[in-house]
Each structure stands twice: as structure tokens, then as C-alpha cells.
Homo-oligomer: A and B are copies of this chain.
Amino acid sequence: MAKELKELTPRSENYAQWYNDLVIKAELAENSAVRGCMVIKPYGYAIWEKMQQNLDRMFKETGHVNAYFPLFIPKSFMSREAEHVEGFAKECAVVTHYRLKTDPNGNGVVVDPEAKLEEELIVRPTSETIIWSTYKNWIQSYRDLPLLINQWANVVRWEMRTRLFLRTAEFLWQEGHTAHANREEAEAEAKKMLKVYTEFAEKYMAMPVIKGVKSASERFAGAEETYTIEALMQDGKALQAGTSHFLGQNFAKAFDVQFTDQNGNRDYVWATSWGVSTRLIGALIMSHSDDNGLVLPPALAPIQVVMVPIYKNEEQLRRIDEKADKIMQQLKALGISVKYDNADNKKPGWKFSEYELKGVPVRLAMGARDLENNTIEVARRDTLTKETVPYEGVVEHVKNLLDEIQQNIYQKAFDFRASQIREVNSYDEFKEEIEKGGFLLCHWDGTPETEELVKNETKATIRCIPLEGDKTPGKCMVTGKPSAQRVIFARAY
């Protein structure tokens, strides 16, 4: 039964179903009683904690500090920046009352009509407006700049079609909001944070990404420029993994945030904002996992090494316990997280498939023969291979193996993506190729009309205008008009 419980729909059969099965069966998250909101279960949350720790350190290393701003935004604030409100109005949860009372008809509690707010409050879908209304009081002179602040928070966007981690009504994220004395500095900050996200995605998530700029129609509501990192999932669909926005002076103007520069002149402040969310857990899953379960990069795995004893009697267990304990101590001293599973109500086979499902990178097993030969079995989750190695030196072996697995997972994702990036030169070819998935490098005339046409006819969007790589001009695959460089089209999550 345990085995069946863990069985996943194969990816080849139904990728979306495989994803959902995996999230549920690996106990990462589940849907809650509140439509569109998920419960992040302990194992899923442990991955998020690892992501947070690393990102938070990287933010601090680049000079940022954390703060916390209110969950609620007065409705009138939302309207201050015209494009911003247009982008978010349709998905806002609105607080209208501040009290419940006993139902006079005896049906539990009802909203107290006398406790109506004078002005409705929006549950933040993002915090630019409440933060810039605050920055107004914090910034008077160039000496107050730059302001480099990040916030870890929950946000709510009322989505109609939700999927665990990928699109939920409430999600967890971080949002950086910085203020600068001039355009150049703000633009540099937006690019710097894109670089931080790139490093995080590639080094920790083992997920290669393409850095680029969004087309105007895909820009953040209120931004002058949106930078993005785009990843490719195993099913050939793109996933936007993080964005960094150069906001120009839009929010400073909306909230009248001016400063006095070194020459005594007054000007509006320049801004950026940037964020990544629990969506990254979805990206992590869809980048590496397989039909047996999760494959987690060691850098983000809550448990990096699991050890399972295989024994027929108490004496064997006692001897294995002793040897295991030594390894555990040494691994822990190296900062490697390790779990020893000697629970006696589950068989080794059950445990093996459990940790496979959970994506633990390295599994150690020790049995009677290992005791005899002074060996230990080492299994890798990424390749599903195993080998027997001498007990002495196994700690060093495991340490190196974790690095190798991290590398290998990245390389595999990189090679897959490389096989899925294709130049396409005609719209007919495009319509054929887009069905196969992947990143299609195409010339585009730069107009929202062409972008819209392609989207309506093929469901593909421009993921980004790449910042790096070939910049040769050409002709738009649809209209034949001039194109400055190839852009990336794909169907996306």
C-alpha cells in the first residue's frame, strides 16, 4: 500500500498531473479550505527556509536591510499610479469591515454592518504604494539616499485559476524597494538584483536562466523597465523566476517624494523594486524531478544525506548504530544535514522509496555484509545509481559527492535547455515549432500588435529580450519589418 501511495502519474502521460501528484505526495503543500490559498507543509516550508536563508544573505551582502510595512493599503493609495492600479485592481482582496457579531438569527456570526470602514483597505498585492507613501517622510536630502530595503511578506492576488506554488491567491515572497538620487544608480540597482537572482537560480537552485528585458506589454504595472530571469521547465514551457523593475520616478511622483541634491536642487527620487516568491519551489520541482519523485539540489535540500540501517537482529543494529553515529557527527561538523532513520516500524525498502520521493540527494545504507567488509552503500538520487565504498573516508566521499550532484543537476538542466533553444525564421515554422515547446529565438518588429497576434494565435508570449548573446538585427518573422535582435518566445506558466 505504501508503495502505491507514493506512485506518481508519469511525466510522459500527464505532466500537470505528475506535478500535482508530486507536490501532494512529497508533502510539500496542499490546497486549503480557502479557495486559491495553499497550506505549505513542513517539508515544503523547509525548502523555502533554505531559499530564504541564502537570498537574505545575498541581499545583505549587497547592502540591503529588512523592514516590515503594513499588510493593508488604503484604497485611495492604489489609484495614485495610473498603470499600477490598472494592473492590480482586478485581483484585490478588499477589507470592508472590522468586526463580527452574533447572528440575531442564531447562525453563528455575521459581519457587523455598523463596523464598516470609512475607507476600504486592500490586502497588499505588492507594496509599492504603501512603501512610497512611507518613504515620503524618510527622504529629504541626497544624504538619505540610497535607501536599500527588502521585506519578507505574504501578498494576495485574487487568481481565478490556481496551482500549488505556481499561482496561488496568497503567496510568500520578498520584495525589495530601493530609492536613489539618479536614474543611473537606480538602473544599476535593478540590474544588480537581476544578477543576484541569476546567481541564486544557477548556484543554489541548479536552474539555468536567461536574463532579459520584458516587452512593454509584459512589464510590471508602473515600471519603466522590467528585467526578468526566465527558466525552462522539463515540459518545454517557460517560467518567469524573478523580476527586477526600474520604476523611474513614477511612484515618487505619485506620492510626491522629492529630495534636495548636492547643489540644492529639488528632484523626484528614482526607484526600483524586485521580488521572488514561493513560485520558485514550483520551478525547482519542474526543473529536476523525475517519475520517482523529487530531485533536490544539495544546496537547498532540507535533508542532504539520509542513512538507513539494514539489520536482522539487535546486535547488528547496535553495531550499525555505532558506526552510523561516527559518520553523522563528522558530516554534521562539516555543516551537512543528515538524518539517521532507524525507525523499526518501516522496512528499508519502504524507506528507500520514501527518501527517493522526497529527493534526498544522498542515501547511505549499511547492512550485515557492510559490517563484515567495513563498507557502506552510497546511493545518488540524481542518477539513481549506487556503489559500495570503504567505511573509512566515506565522509570525504559524501562531501565531494554532494558537490558533484549539485553540478550534475545543473548540467543536466543546462543541456536540456540547450536542446530546446532554437532559432526560428518564419511564422509558419514558428507555429509548428511552438507545439514542441522550448525557447524560440525569433525576430520581432517590436510592436505590441505583433506580440498580441502571436499570443492569440499560438498562446506563446515574448519571455524576454535577452541581455546577452547574439544581437544581430533581422526581419520580423510575422511582418517582415526590421527587428533589432532576436527575442525569446515560449508558452509559459
**Residues on B with beta carbons closer than 8 Å to the beta carbon of A85:** 100, 108-109
Asked if residues B99 and A89 are in contact (CB atoms below 8 Å), the reply is yes
Asked if residues A94 and B95 are in contact (CB atoms below 8 Å), the reply is yes
Asked if residues B72 and A37 are in contact (CB atoms below 8 Å), the reply is yes
Q: Known contacts being A95-B95, A100-B122, is A73 close to B40, with CB within 8 Å?
A: no
Asked if residues B34 and A72 are in contact (CB atoms below 8 Å), the reply is yes
Is A173's beta carbon under 8 Å from chain B?
no
Asked if residues A39 and B69 are in contact (CB atoms below 8 Å), the reply is yes
**Residues on B with beta carbons closer than 8 Å to the beta carbon of A101:** 89-90
Q: Tell me the complex Cα distance, A89–B110, Å.
A: 9
Is A170's beta carbon under 8 Å from chain B?
yes
Most buried by B among A98, A121, A122, A156: A98
Asked if residues A109 and B95 are in contact (CB atoms below 8 Å), the reply is no
Is A2's beta carbon under 8 Å from chain B?
no
**Residues on B with beta carbons closer than 8 Å to the beta carbon of A153:** 154
Most buried by B among A70, A92, A99, A121: A70
Is A446's beta carbon under 8 Å from chain B?
no
Q: Which of A60-68, A269-277, A309-317, A485-493 contacts B (4 or more CB under 8 A)?
A: A60-68
**Residues on B with beta carbons closer than 8 Å to the beta carbon of A137:** 30
Residue of B nearest to A73 (CB): B34
Q: How many residues of A contact B (CB 8 A)?
A: 64
Asked if residues B68 and A172 are in contact (CB atoms below 8 Å), the reply is yes
Asked if residues A32 and B111 are in contact (CB atoms below 8 Å), the reply is no
Residue of B nearest to A151 (CB): B45
Residue of B nearest to A88 (CB): B100
**Residues on B with beta carbons closer than 8 Å to the beta carbon of A172:** 68
Q: Which of A76-84, A230-238, A351-359, A437-445 contacts B (4 or more CB under 8 A)?
A: A76-84
Asked if residues B133 and A71 are in contact (CB atoms below 8 Å), the reply is no
**Residues on B with beta carbons closer than 8 Å to the beta carbon of A99:** 89-92, 94, 158
A26 to chain B minimum Cβ distance, whole angstroms, is 14
A21 to chain B minimum Cβ distance, whole angstroms, is 17
Asked if residues B78 and A65 are in contact (CB atoms below 8 Å), the reply is no
Is A331's beta carbon under 8 Å from chain B?
no
Asked if residues B96 and A156 are in contact (CB atoms below 8 Å), the reply is no
Asked if residues A108 and B76 are in contact (CB atoms below 8 Å), the reply is yes
**Residues on B with beta carbons closer than 8 Å to the beta carbon of A65:** 42, 45-46
Is A120's beta carbon under 8 Å from chain B?
yes
Is A332's beta carbon under 8 Å from chain B?
no
Most buried by B among A33, A74, A154: A33
Is A130's beta carbon under 8 Å from chain B?
yes
Asked if residues A121 and B34 are in contact (CB atoms below 8 Å), the reply is yes
Asked if residues B94 and A89 are in contact (CB atoms below 8 Å), the reply is no
**Residues on B with beta carbons closer than 8 Å to the beta carbon of A78:** 100, 108-109
**Residues on B with beta carbons closer than 8 Å to the beta carbon of A98:** 91-94, 158
A282 to chain B minimum Cβ distance, whole angstroms, is 15
Q: Tell me the complex Cα distance, A66–B42, Å.
A: 6
Partner of A100 from B40, B75, B95, B102 at Cβ < 8 Å: B75
Q: Tell me the complex Cα distance, A73–B30, Å.
A: 16
**Residues on B with beta carbons closer than 8 Å to the beta carbon of A73:** 34
Q: List 19 A-B contacts (CB under 8 A).
A: A30-B137, A33-B77, A33-B130, A34-B70, A34-B121, A37-B72, A39-B67, A71-B156, A72-B170, A78-B100, A78-B109, A89-B99, A89-B101, A89-B102, A90-B100, A91-B99, A93-B98, A94-B97, A123-B123
CB-based closest 6 A-B pairs: A79-B108, A37-B70, A89-B100, A40-B68, A42-B65, A98-B158
